[in-house]
Amino acid sequence: MDIETVNSLSYEEFIELFGGVVERCPLAAAAVWSRRPFGCVSDVEAGIGEFIDSLSESGKEGLVRCHPDLAGRELASGTLTAESQREQEGAGLASLQAEEAAQIAGLNREYKQRFGFPFVICARTSDKAAILQQLQQRLRNLRSQELLHAVQEIKKICHLRLQDLLHRAPPKL
């Protein structure tokens, strides 16, 4: 999709197309739409990154809380967003053995108790072994470190989701 197409999208079309790049936070796309016209497609990503960076600590925590547990109830029930479903399936989280699922569920609970928000990792750049290792390792972080780490992972997810959108055929308007 070229920048002219992106710039020509109405507010509603822009939100429909880009509203899922930050998990369950179409507000990020809404905040960026007002920056049009974009000079290049990377300006869209930069704008979303700046929006995220401008959030207060509690706003960033809220953004992290929009993310589902990895290999959690939503994956099992099929209620994840389409993007999360593909990402978790691609990382092998939809085909865990019972022991692996129990281990990840226990670590997810421990993580949420410790930090107050779910564990976030860019599943598309990981597999289940790496996710399990990161969950165990990141449990040792300070809360402030972990919030920063989670936000960086959200930006990685956003980058990949934007690349998917911007490199596919333009929407029919």
Give the residue numbers marked as catalytic: 67
As a residue count, the chain comes to 173
Q: What is the CA radius of gyration of the chain?
A: 17
CA 72 to chain CA centroid, nearest Å: 15
Helix (H) or strand (E) holding 116: none
Measuring CA to CA, which residue among 121, 133, 109, 136 is closest to residue 64? 121
The DSSP 8-state label assigned to residue 120 in this structure reads -
The DSSP 8-state label assigned to residue 56 in this structure reads -
